[in-house]
Amino acid sequence: MSCKDTAKILPIIIMEKNLGIKWYQTIDSTNSQANRELADAPHGSVWVADFQTAGRGQRGNRWESKSAENLTFSILLRPTFLHPAQQFHISRIASLGVLRYLHDKGLDAKIKWPNDIYIGNKKICGMLIENSISTDKLSASIVGIGLNLNQRGFSSKLTNPTSLIMEKLSAEGNSDLPDKIYDRKDELSLLLGYIFTAYSELEEGYCKELEEEYHRNLYRLGEFHRFIEIDQDAPADIPVERISRGKEITARILGTDEYGCAIMEHISGEIKHYPFKGIRYVL
Ligand code: BTN
């Protein structure tokens, strides 16, 4: 795929297309279900769950979400116009879709590289993207999204979680908000509109604009902070907390390269590019 030069803002696609949405009360994981149906499901299929018994997170972690309080869903994209080396474009448009949705709610959301969404120092949304490659194309991309909407309390094991309702309460003080203020069907419909709009922009070649928007919304962009540099020989499926072979560094994120690696400047001035499993923030 090649990028266009000129800027063009596409209108938000409201969900007039009859997308195939399957909504489950309980399932192991919507990403796993999407994988099971991968061979026959068309582009744009969506699997949603009230509750996942084995919700999967990044780096082999679990994704925990109280039943029927939040959005846990997976979208199947078939971005065959992308080369496998361009797979970060999907991560970018998915992050921007969620980001635009949250900005529209009045929240100052940022993207914690590569695709966590943060409000301040708190995580409101996580993504698990699983790609399938066939020869020289990206044949399928399952974009799994967990967005916290109505949940007010989280397990103490999680690092700094938040939700839309918690952010609204903290912005408005102790106001008397109903328990489930956000209707999950309405919010899903809105959010899918934003994600498919960003996807259409990519499909039409507006990758420069998408790249710039992603860049200027990066969490802690250009600020020196502590990070753990992960030993690349550590087994890939071990949760990062259990990897002892990591070195603490002070560095700042300058942006991402064409493959989606984080470009980091160490305090010494050295510049290094890190793949997803190569570095993690110390929060
Ligand atoms: C992360 O660790 O931040 C990624 C979390 C991704 C969770 C979502 S919830 C819907 C989809 N199904 C899963 O099993 N995981 C993703």
From 32, 46, 128, 192, the mutation candidate for ligand 1 (largest count of ligand atoms within 8 A of CB) is 128
Task: Give the model confidence (pLDDT) of 24-41 as tens digits.
Answer: 999 999 999 999 999 999
Query: What six digits make up the tokens of 168?
Result: 């609204």
**Which pLDDT does position 235 carry in this prediction?**
54
Whole-number average pLDDT of the chain: 90
Nearest CA to ligand 1 atom 11: 144
Nearest alpha carbon to residue 148 among 216, 63, 211, 219 = 63
Q: Please tell me the distance between residue 111's alpha carbon and the centre of ligand 1 in angstroms.
A: 16
Give the pocket of ligand 1 (CB within 6 Å): 29-31, 52, 55-58, 61, 63, 72-74, 116, 126-128, 144-146
**Which pLDDT does position 14 carry in this prediction?**
39
Task: Give the model confidence (pLDDT) of 236-247 as tens digits.
Answer: 555 545 545 688
Residue 62 has pLDDT above 80, yes or no: yes
pLDDT band of residue 7 (cuts 50, 70, 90) is: very low
Single-letter amino acid, residue 239? P
Q: In angstroms, rounded to a whole number, what is the distance separating the alpha carbons of residues 98 and 115?
A: 10
Nearest CA to ligand 1 atom 3: 126
Single-letter amino acid, residue 70? N
CB 93 within 8 A of CB 202: yes
Q: Helix, strand or coil for residue 168?
A: helix
Q: Are strands 46-52 and 21-27 parallel, antiparallel or unpaired?
A: parallel
Q: Is the peptide bond before 178 cis (omega within 30 degrees of 0)?
A: no
